[in-house]
Structure 1
Amino acid sequence: MTRVVVVDDQTLVRHGIRSLLALADIEVVGEADDGRAALEVVAATEPDVILLDLRMPRYDGIWTLGRLRERGTEIPVLVLTTFDDDTLLLDALRAGARGYLLKDVTLEQLTRAVRTLAEGGTLIAPSITDRLLRAIRSGPSPAGADAPPVQELTERELEVLRLVAEGCSNREIAEALFLAEGTVKNRVSTILLKLGARDRTKAVLRALHEGILR
């Protein structure tokens, strides 16, 4: 069973998410109402996925993502928010979020996103992908001004990268391309190196910015 921690300042929202996820055999192992409390709960429960709201009093979602990154936490974070804001979305992805959904999603969409992140994938709501692409290409490189130049990807690496951008896990990529899962893992590592990216989300962002992905 996939285990999650829900971080949201509204008690009713947290309880609602807990009840809905229980219907899909996803267990909420902890709750927090701001970022500082979230760090303690995550450390105590070690969930598979963190569901994180962005707009919270005191210690908000961006602050929380930054502290998780400083601690070297590898647990994937799915941002779940009511705010449809391009700047906030980019800030969250650059801070380390692996997925981004609005709170008007269906239970099926939410559970699929949770399981996708738990399996190593990434996911961004299709309704905001086009706007995200425009924002990325019109702004500075997600990798930063001092990032190494992008190295050319092979055709197979491009196939893997496209599936990563669609939110596929290593297992799903292996099945789609008829490869061993270990081979996919190695190819993803090579892609990260060639794109000068720390993780899969940063790799997709830079590939979009550089026009490698359309």
Structure 2
Amino acid sequence: MSVRLLVVDDHPVVRAGLRSMLADTAIEVTGEAATADQALEVFPSASPHVVLTAVRLGDSDGIELISRLRANGLNASTLCFSGHDNPTYVARAMSAGAAGYLLKSVSREELLSAIEAAAAGEECWTSQDRRRHKGPIPTELLRQNLEVTLTKRESEVLKQLSFGLTNKEIANALGLRYDTVKEHVQHVLRKLAVNDRTQAAVWAVRKGLV
């Protein structure tokens, strides 16, 4: 059976490379998009079994696209295809319902296998991915549904952190000094009683903050 694929990536070279790579396979690229908005527009005509999306899409976000597809009743398995080995991205993608998270360094065979598995309704998460997502996050806080009081700025920093941004990128995005962002991140980690940024991102995802 032929697998229909929608490729979402803001780099034309990547999209062209994937189309060329898949040309002689049972996987047909039936649509391309550079942004999340374009992906939503193209989806009906592409009628994909699988959506292969980058995480960073310029002015949009590939993981948010996964949620938007579901909210619009556009059903297809989704795979993240990223150049960033970022555990916060993995955590968000898993929580959003993606079938897997692939690095752009994977082999052709691994990519084909993952797309075919996703088309068949299977997941492609590794044991390491699952450990990242289900690791030692503040389960006591979640279980008791305790409220954590963050300032408006801390909440903004947590959201940007959960998008996988570095302190420098957060500073640029929010117009803050690097040292100020670093201080806010430390406050967030302490208030959430977590050990690192990944755990904070998972907490934010599970609480529906991002």
Q: For this structure pair, what is the TM-score category when the shorter chain's length is used for normalisation?
A: 0.5 to 0.7
Find the residue that maps to 2:75 and give its secondary structure: coil
Q: Distance in 2 between matches of 1:75 and 1:146?
A: 35
Q: Residue 133 of structure 1 is aligned with which of 128, 131, 134? A: 131
Name the counterpart of 1:172: none
5+ residue gaps, structure 1: 148-214
Task: Provide the rounded CA distance (Å) in 2 between the counterparts of 1:92 and 1:113.
Answer: 15
TM-score normalised by length of structure 2: 0.63
Q: CA RMSD in A?
A: 2.0
State percent identity of aligned pairs.
Answer: 37
Contact 1:69 1:96 in 2 (8 A): no
Q: Which runs of 5+ in 2 are unaligned?
A: 146-210
Distance in 1 (alpha carbons) for counterparts of 2:55 and 2:19: 18
Task: Report 1:101-112 matches (<5 A).
Answer: 101-112=102-113
Q: Which amino acid aligns with 2:136?
A: S
Q: Give the total of aligned pairs.
A: 142
Name the SS of the counterpart of 1:123 in structure 2.
coil
Aligned partners of 2:144 and 2:69: how far apart in 1?
23
Distance 1:113 1:134, change over 3 A: closer
- Give the structure 2 partner of residue 194 of structure 1: none
DSSP 3-state at the match of 2:42: helix
What's the offset of the Cα at 1:130?
2.2
Aligned to 1:85: 86
Alignment partner of 1:47 is 2:45: no
SS class of match (2:22):
helix
Structure label with greater radius of gyration: 2
Moved beyond 2 Å, runs of 4+:
129-132, 144-147
Match of 1:138, SS?
coil
Cα deviation for residue 71 of structure 1 reads: 1.4
Instruction: Judge conservation of contact 2:52–2:79 (CA < 8 Å) in 1.
Output: yes
Q: 1:93 to 1:140 in 2, by over 3 A?
A: farther
TM-score (norm 1): 0.61
